[in-house]
Amino acid sequence: MPFCISLTVNGVKRNIEFDDPRVTLLDLLRERLDLTGAKKGCDRGQCGACTVLVNGRRINSCLALALSHDGAEVLTIEGVAQGEALHPVQAAFIAHDGFQCGFCTPGQIMSAIGLINEGHAGDDPERIREAMSGNLCRCAAYIGIVEAVQDAQKAIAEAGRRDAA
């Protein structure tokens, strides 16, 4: 019996049918929707390369059953830039060399966006490291990643103040 779910992915509503109820959100994004930004690093919840936002919260999509997220809003790395304008977190990762090979980077950026939305990491590098500890980087670009999160937080806060003025 085919299963059918409806997801809003990067602002676009998608109705997706699949046969296997065990299909993960990660496989659905990569193999059915051709959104290959989220990476399959470990496929067991240990590396964070597959991080996406579901209803605004960061999750490891390799551990999420697609079926259990019917009706959800999903944001992937493909959906964060506004046309040619990078998201502040993307820009900060570039400015601070927050990557080398780039494999972990989509997950790092989605996790950083989620963390900044959560609003409780503050500017303390230790707390940012702790809050990003589910995202591993084999290239050990951690110094740049933490600096990028700090900078992006400031840029987003300033933009918020400008918008409110």
Scanning residues 125 to 144, which ones bind ligand FES (CB under 6 A)? 137-139, 141
Residue type for 152, please?
Answer: A
| Token pair listed for 153 | 């937080």
9/145 with CB nearer ligand FES = 145
Scanning residues 94 to 113, which ones bind ligand FES (CB under 6 A)? 99-105
Are 149 and 114 in contact, with CB atoms under 8 Å apart? no
Instruction: Quote the longest CA-to-CA distance of the chain.
Output: 54
153 binds ligand FES (CB under 6 A): no
Q: What are phi and psi of 118, to 5 degrees?
A: -65, -30
4 binds ligand FES (CB under 6 A): no
Scanning residues 27 to 86, which ones bind ligand FES (CB under 6 A)? 40-43, 45-50, 60, 62
9/26 with CB nearer ligand FES = 26
Q: How far apart are CA 25 and CA 11, in angstroms?
A: 16
Q: Shortest distance, CB of residue 110 to ligand FES, whole angstroms?
A: 12
